Amino acid sequence: MQGLVIVVIVLAVILVLLLLTLYLWLEGSLKPKPSTRVFWNLSPMPLAKRLEGYFYAARPDVYLKPATWNWFLKSWNKNETGDKYHGKVITVAEAGKIVSLNTPVEITDLEHIVPYPVARSIILQQPLPSIAVMDCPCRAQKQDACEPRDVCMVVGEPFVSFVLEHHPHQARKLTVDEALSILRAEEERGHIHTAWFKDAMHGRFYTICNCCTCCCLGMASYNRGVKRIAHSGFRPVVDQDDCSGCGVCAQICPFEAVETGEEYAVIDLEQCMGCGLCSSHCVCEAISLELAPEKGVPLDMNTLVAMQS
């Protein structure tokens, strides 16, 4: 019995040392950073979920690593859903409205916009949202990832302060003009914009992903059949008289929803997710976007703010 007690004590000490080492690696000191304290007390989440959120925010590149392991995906894919971690496709115009919002907003139930049972709140407390950009943790998984890598936008507190304090060499604060410039540049590169929500991030919106189909792990899960990305709520419409059939829209579409017919582009609206890239890249200005209520409601911050009034 005494030997068993000694073994238990030794194992407990080893566990404590391992946890302390992990904490020091993530936090950088024994004293927690101010943003860590705020993040920890942001909402009454269960302990396990707080720990997950803390680790995810502190080292998203490590957290996401298993999503690149085939053996992990084969076992995980059976139960993988988008309920607790999901994105909403947004156009570059909608993304711009988020980063340039000039009034606080607190909406805690967006089921009509983000059709998932959890993680569907937007809370931006400053008149202008706090914004930071960091190296994309999805692109960090690949040596030959698309460039530039600093395109992942964190929006709102305490997430921005957390990223800046924990990733001082990989993140920087943005002005509204700088954020809009990054959004426009990523649009020109043909990368889609998605607003992401996660239960472990206190059930809230926290980042705008500006990524490509070849690197984005959210897109990779979508392509595996996991319904993790919600439709933008817009559909593209082709003006057949103006369309030249050049094929630029088919080349740029990240959802492979466009084919070039004999005379004009043809869009598969079942495949399309309404990102708007075909419209913004159409050299003939022959593609416009219109509301698609059967597909969903756009994440339009102006409309949401007006609903609050």
pLDDT of residue 77: 63
Helix (H) or strand (E) holding 145: none
As a whole number, mean pLDDT of residues 182-209 equals 96
Q: For the segment 157-168, what is each residue's pLDDT rounded down to a tens digit? A: 999 999 999 999
Q: Is 169 exposed, middle or buried (0-12, 13-18, 19+ CB in 10 A)?
A: exposed
Q: 234-291 — its CATH code?
A: 3.30.70.20
pLDDT of residue 78: 67
Hey, how many other C-beta atoms are within 10 angstroms of the C-beta on 85?
A: 21
Dihedral, CA atoms, 44, 47, 50, 54, nearest 10 degrees?
Answer: 150
Q: For the segment 245-285, what is each residue's pLDDT rounded down to a tens digit? A: 999 999 999 999 999 877 899 999 999 999 999 999 999 99
Region for residue 49 given its phi and psi (left: phi exceeds 0; alpha: psi -120 to 50; beta: otherwise) = alpha
pLDDT of residue 76: 66
Tell me: pLDDT of 90 over 70.
yes
- 3-class DSSP assignment, residue 64: coil
φ/ψ of residue 237, rounded to 5: -125, 130
As a whole number, mean pLDDT of residues 212-216 equals 90
CA distance 159 to 24: 20
Query: How many Å separate Cα 122 from the centre of its chain?
Result: 13
As a whole number, mean pLDDT of residues 124-151 equals 90
φ/ψ of residue 50, rounded to 5: -65, -40
CA distances from 200 to 95, 102, 165, 246 (A): 23, 27, 19, 45
Q: What is the share, in percent, of the chain residues with pLDDT greater than 90? A: 69
Report the candidate in 75, 182, 175 with the shortest Cα–Cα distance to residue 136: 182
Tell me: pLDDT of 17 over 90.
no
Strand partners, 107: 122
Helix (H) or strand (E) holding 248: helix 248-252
As a whole number, mean pLDDT of residues 205-230 equals 91
- The secondary structure of 84-139, three-state, reads CEEEEEECHHHHHHHHCCCCCEEECCCCCCCCCCCCCEEEECCCCCCEEEEECCCH
Q: Is 308 exposed, middle or buried (0-12, 13-18, 19+ CB in 10 A)?
A: exposed
**Mean pLDDT lowest among 16-20, 30-34, 207-211, 300-304:** 16-20
Cβ contact 257:89 at 8 Å: no
pLDDT of residue 30: 86
Contacts of residue 120, defined as CB under 8 A and 6 or more positions apart, other chains included, come to 109, 110, 111, 113, 114, 197, 203
pLDDT of residue 309: 66
Q: For the segment 35-76, what is each residue's pLDDT rounded down to a tens digit? A: 999 999 999 999 999 999 999 999 999 999 988 888 877 776
Tell me: pLDDT of 236 over 90.
yes
pLDDT of residue 271: 95
